[in-house]
Chains A and B, each alone.
Chain A
């Protein structure tokens, strides 16, 4: 009898072990993505991202990097949906300005242990992605605008292309001098996505000592005399016929096309435009100047760029962090960026030595982060609507900005 019971027990045990093995197999099947890191990166990064992924895989054969290519149109919505749905990739390329919102909602994890050599990073880039004394992203690309101008138009208007205007007054005079024979001296934006006009008008507001909201996000400053003066300066380019008649439908890309078509002599943009201008119209002698400032004030620009975040719901955070650490290395940062790297040491790479980039480099220290506020999207939309009301001739600058102030007041 005992023998029989032992026999039964043995069978049970075997069955149990078998069962465990089977469920173990099932478990490991569920973890098929162990060793795989999914990285969402925008299409303009694809070639460079692939290069770095291959380099990393060669050194880490047990980790596979799966690239998923995104497009910038509608990207914030797509990322937000993925982050909230609970099925996010392991690494996402995002713009610096978006990181704060993700951090405040616990959608990404802090990367303090990944970003180690902080003294080597441009401080403004780190500030951008810091919240609650923790670092929530790895910044890898930074850039600011400068003013791109057509040297030939300067000569034709009797101006010296080697000495571009420095102050607002000089700048207006130069733009007016070049506005003739169907050409527009300086193109501002008044259409497209909100960000286009924020990036091009907020620096002027900062230079004049104004702001849209105060740094702590408690006070509305959009109708202060300083801000109104800068908005007047910005919108007058269109009102006085210096900016093209299509200003209200133009975004940054449209302005570049007009510059390439030689109907615009100056416009604001980043260094990413230089290559396409040179390719599409090699006849233009391209110059770059710092953004003009009011007499006695410093220039300013919005610091833009891209960071990498690790979503809270990432399936493979360990390997993702290993890969992030690799992307944070000086050599990787010198490769991945389309503009400038966030690390100072990466800036010495050969590709950043082109003389045309000199002015863009000079602008970097004047780059400031976009204000971070949970309702920033609506605040900037309210501001942009105000700018459009001025450009349409519905309201004067003070009335429009008073209206914007009332709208923003309700959002703080």
Chain B
């Protein structure tokens, strides 16, 4: 009994810091969302105002596209890369390091570089496509309503697939050689090995990584904000950027808080699944 209370005492400082850094902002955001800028309670007015804004539904659907598009390609590309990097070939160490580069480059640097490369007039991508005649006219990658969001997703995929690859690669390397040998004795081809040995073995890793990616995509600001600020005409506006713009550009902290609270509800659901899955994995592996 005595020992238990001493334990609490030791944990207390950490709990206090956590409380100040996490619980307080969350609670304060909740309070902001139901008050006006003078601090008077206004009920659900902020929620009504922000839900009535023209940008909100646009941002919601953009976020959906953004998350789904990013995750699917990140995971598929990441897993394929991991399988490739798991093979034995010359220069494997170099290829493994090079693959990591997009993930290591700071987001803002990557975004600014991509913005320059994609510029209609002086971007290298249009230059490379028009010079040999692949395209007749330069494409307005960032100004054409139908290309801008896919381009953002592509940049996000490029940025994050190395992370998936490294995590899955770690999982692949922990697969016991016995399984491969057993499969080979049964006459399995390479792709059958992938399908019946590798993927089932790294499934827990893929699930955990996917949920992490969903959380990161939901919170994402850097790439889109640095390149388009959510434009043109809100074509790339996703909810986190709408929250940022409402709070820090329009100085409507209360409406931004209301939107954050709703967004928090969605994010916490994903986090809940993440914790349950990872806890399940830990239990299964024991």
Contacts and interface: CB of A to CB of B under 8 A. Distances in A.
A271 to B, nearest CB: 24
A104 interface: no
A190 B231 CA distance: 10
Contacts of A245: 120-121, 137-138, 140, 143
Nearest to A391: B232
A389 interface: yes
B140 A248 contact: yes
Given A249-B140, A381-B250, A244 B233 contact: no
B232 A248 contact: yes
Interface in B147-189: none
B142 interface: yes
A77 B137 CA distance: 40
Contacts of A391: 232
Contact of B143 (A248, A385, A394): A248
Contacts of A258: 121
B142 A249 contact: yes
B119 A407 contact: no
Contacts of A389: 233
Contacts of B52: 410
B122 A261 contact: yes
A388 interface: yes
* Interface range, B side: 20 to 34
A389 B145 CA distance: 10
B248 interface: yes
B232 A377 contact: no
Interface residues of A, number: 30
A249 B120 contact: yes
Interface in B216-240: 228-229, 231-235
A375 B249 CA distance: 10
Contacts of A410: 52
A201 to B, nearest CB: 15
A392 B231 CA distance: 11
Interface in B9-59: 52, 54-55
Interface in A327-382: 375, 377-378, 381
Contacts of A193: 229
Contacts of A18: none
Contacts of A257: 122
A377 B140 contact: no
Given A257-B122, A392-B232, A191 B143 contact: yes
A388 B231 contact: yes
Contact of A377 (B121, B229, B250): B250
Nearest to A384: B231
Nearest to A382: B54
B251 interface: yes
SS of A interface (majority)? helix
Interface string B120-145: 11100000000000000110101101
A190 B120 CA distance: 13
A391 B55 CA distance: 18
Given A191-B143, A193-B229, A394-B233, A80 B120 contact: no
B277 interface: no
Interface string B241-256: 0000100111110000
A258 B122 CA distance: 9
A246 interface: yes
Contacts of B235: 392
B140 A388 contact: no
B249 A377 contact: yes
Nearest to B235: A392
B127 to A, nearest CB: 13
A130 interface: no
Nearest to A258: B121
A360 B247 CA distance: 37
A227 interface: no
Contacts of A377: 249-251
A191 B232 contact: yes
Contacts of B120: 244-246, 249
Nearest to B145: A392
Contacts of A385: 55, 231, 233-234
B188 to A, nearest CB: 51
Most buried by A among B232, B248, B250, B252: B232
Most buried by A among B52, B54, B140, B251: B251
A335 to B, nearest CB: 33
A393 B144 CA distance: 10
Contact of A381 (B121, B140, B232, B249): B249
Nearest to B146: A392
Contacts of B249: 77, 377, 381
A377 B247 CA distance: 11
Contacts of B143: 190-191, 245-249, 392
Nearest to B55: A385
Most buried by B among A254, A381, A391: A381
A74 B48 CA distance: 29
A394 B252 CA distance: 28
A84 to B, nearest CB: 10
A263 interface: yes
B140 A246 contact: yes
B185 to A, nearest CB: 59
A245 B142 CA distance: 11
A403 B234 CA distance: 14
Pick the 8 closest A-B CB pairs, nearest first. A248-B143, A246-B120, A388-B233, A388-B232, A246-B121, A378-B250, A389-B233, A248-B232
Given A245-B120, A246-B120, A381-B245, 11 more contacts: A191-B143, A244-B121, A245-B138, A248-B142, A249-B142, A249-B143, A257-B122, A258-B121, A388-B231, A392-B143, A407-B54
Interface of A: 77, 80, 190-191, 193, 244-249, 254, 257-258, 261, 263, 375, 377-378, 381, 385, 388-389, 391-394, 403, 407, 410
15 contacts: A77-B249, A190-B232, A245-B120, A247-B143, A248-B231, A249-B119, A254-B119, A261-B122, A263-B121, A377-B250, A378-B250, A381-B249, A385-B231, A385-B233, A403-B54
